[in-house]
Amino acid sequence: MTGFSLFFLLLQVPSTLVLLKRLSTARDRTAPLLPLANSDETLAKQNPQVSIVIPTLNEIDRLPTCLEGLRDQAAKEIIVVDSRSQDGTPEYVQKLQQDFPIPLKLVTDDPLPEGWVGRPWALHNGFLQSDPTSTWVLGIDADTLPQQGLVASLVAQATANEFDIVSLSPKFILKTAGEQWLQPALLITLIFRFGATGDRTQFTEDRVMANGQCFLSRRAKLVELNGYELAKSSFCDDVTLARAAAQRGAKVGFLDGAALMQVRMYTSMGETWREWGRSLDLKDASTPNQTLADCLLLTAVQGLPLPLLISLLIWQPTASLPTSILFWLNVFLVSIRCLLTFGIRSSYTEVGFWFWLSPLADPLAAIRIWISALTRPKSWRGRNYT
């Protein structure tokens, strides 16, 4: 048993030190974004600088809510880039065009070129079709529910901080028990690897984070980067583009936007596992060594603590010093995870009983990241890839 304990201590002790360093700077993170004062928002609407791009593929169930939230935003135009949806999405956009308060354009992006993933190709087409006089291009996903003042507040923050690219983390909407149990565990994998949203003290150029659900770029910077070309084959195009831009000297920000946007990404535990889980490894934006290190870290501090603690309690091995240290180390790691459950509560509109049991899903979350890291998606957002 001593050899068993030493093996896990060699894995967990260094990983715990890394985790504590990442969590220790959370208190210094940038404050969450808030809506602007009414006078500032009115001024922004009088001089809109933003082209909004929404990629769609069979989004008729989600797009109406997104567009309704954008109806009163400070935008110059909205470009819906559709990939030949079969559910009535383009017809719905055409019906809105005449009376929508912001110019609403519909673009079809097919055919998909060799080497491109559908989402970055749609965003690239939206950028190419955007008004060249716009200062900013804002990519918004159809599952996003923009809150009042989103665009004006985001642009004001980006301008004040001289960001070239800035994206926001949302407030999540979870409805089913399975979602409330699994999704927070998957979200924690990001915090363990990259720290709290808005914490820029930990970001190097190759570790910056981003969220494509609300991704604002200076149009001049996209021109310099040749649009989304650098992320064309990535299944996490948001992080890939942000890191590529940072490595070329761009100033990139990732901020807490829970007060300005909500998202209903998936509708079940199974869909959350399949769809979100397959891109959370971020291997397309990382080196193989970074991906391996992240997977080992998650195994040590998120996947193993609960199983190890239960095993030690059930079998009650001889209390050697290494075994005692291993036991209390994992008590410590499980305690941190439970405290983080309270810490991420503000990232959700409402929670139920199963949310508070999400630490029990941590081993599954770590396994999901490993599966994603070792495989490449064969389908994504309604498209199949060979």
Question: Tokens for 108?
Answer: 């079809």
Question: Tokens for 123?
Answer: 């965003």
Whether 341 and 24 have beta carbons less than 8 Å apart is answered as: no
Which one, of 256, 57, 240, 252, lies nearest residue 143 by Cα?
A: 57
pLDDT in tens, the chain (386 residues): 577 788 999 999 999 999 999 888 777 788 888 888 776 777 777 778 999 999 999 999 999 999 999 999 989 999 999 988 888 999 999 999 989 999 999 999 888 899 899 999 999 999 999 999 999 999 999 999 999 999 999 999 999 999 999 999 999 999 999 999 999 999 999 999 998 877 666 567 788 999 999 999 999 999 999 999 999 999 999 999 999 999 999 999 999 999 999 999 999 999 999 889 888 999 999 999 999 999 999 999 999 999 999 998 887 766 788 888 999 999 999 999 999 999 999 999 999 999 999 999 999 999 999 999 999 877 766 677 76
- Residue 14, classed as helix, strand or coil, is helix
Domain ranges (residues) in the chain: 1-27+177-195+287-375, 31-170+211-267
- Residue 79, classed as helix, strand or coil, is strand
* Cα three-residue angle 82-84-85, rounded to 5 degrees: 85
Distance CA 253, CA 209 (A): 8
Long-range CB contacts for residues 200-206, cutoff 8 Å, separation at least 24: 200/29, 200/30, 200/253, 201/25, 201/28, 202/22, 202/25, 203/252, 203/254, 205/243, 205/246, 205/247, 206/243, 206/246, 206/247, 206/286, 206/287, 206/290
For domain 31-170+211-267, the CATH superfamily is Spore Coat Polysaccharide Biosynthesis Protein SpsA; Chain A (3.90.550.10)
Question: Tokens for 104?
Answer: 């609403």
pTM of the prediction?
A: 0.92
Distance CA 6, CA 341 (A): 29
Give helix 2-24 / helix 177-194 axis angle, nearest 10°: 80
pLDDT for 279: 86
Continuous H helices in the chain: 2-24, 38-46, 63-70, 89-97, 118-129, 150-160, 177-194, 219-225, 237-247, 269-271, 288-298, 305-315, 321-343, 353-356, 362-374
- Would you tell me how many other CB atoms lie within 10 Å of the CB of residue 104? 21
Distance CA 204, CA 220 (A): 23
Which one, of 42, 40, 35, 89, lies nearest residue 67 by Cα?
A: 89
Single-letter residue type at 296 = L
